[in-house]
Amino acid sequence: MPPVDSTSRRLRDLPRSELADEIESICLAKFRAVLLMEESEDLPVDISYFDLGLTSLRLTEIRQSLEQLLDLSINVSVLFNEPTIAHLVDHLTQAIQEA
């Protein structure tokens, strides 16, 4: 895995459409790993994390991993107020553009 600073720097240089796609890919990989899913398995982005089987503890692990990788802070309310991967991707895309 590339160093954090190179990942976050590379992401900040992408156009918004490509940035959103890249963030979605990163998020899907993190969620699949925690849910013990194969890379080829479909993971819906518009269903609640909790309906997918995630616990608060596992979600916290994903949050910490994404914070380290993307070099930004993710407010817990973002994860729990609208708990879908699609919402998280939108939030992270905006946060990286504003960084």
Integer-rounded Cα Rg, in Å, for the chain is 13
State if pTM tops 0.85. yes
Burial class (CB in 10 A: 0-12, 13-18, 19+), 95: middle
Distance CA 71, CA 69 (A): 6
Q: Mean pLDDT lowest for which of 13-17, 47-51, 82-86, 90-94? A: 13-17
The closest of 1, 2, 53 to 32, measured between CA atoms, is 53
Residue 2 has pLDDT above 70, yes or no: no
Q: Are 61 and 53 in contact (CB under 8 A)?
A: no
Annotated domain spans of the chain: 4-98
The domain covering 4-98 belongs, at the CATH homologous superfamily level, to ACP-like (1.10.1200.10)
